Amino acid sequence: MSRKRYTPEQIIGMLREAEVRLSQGETVGVICRGLGVSEQSYYRWTPCETSRVPQNNFLSALLLTRSTC
């Protein structure tokens, strides 16, 4: 089975939706099942400083980490 690759724009959209749903009290597991991604992927996509990094820098950092995997 091949891996699903998400574009950086799709990842950012999912992270924003997850942030909203977390603020509404849902758990990470329920959110990930709803988004169709694993919890491992979710935590890999959410660095500790995500909210402090401008979007363009976040995209660059995300692309760099994907190319080293």
Domain boundaries defined on the chain: 8-68
Higher local confidence (pLDDT), 39 or 64: 39
Residue among 63, 67, 38, 61 at smallest CA distance from 48 = 61
Examine the pLDDT at 49 and tell me if it is beyond 50: no
Residue of 3 and 44 predicted with greater confidence: 44
The model's pTM is 0.66
pLDDT at 65 over 50: yes
Helix 8-23 and helix 55-68: axis angle, to 10°?
120
Q: What is the pLDDT of residue 64?
A: 63
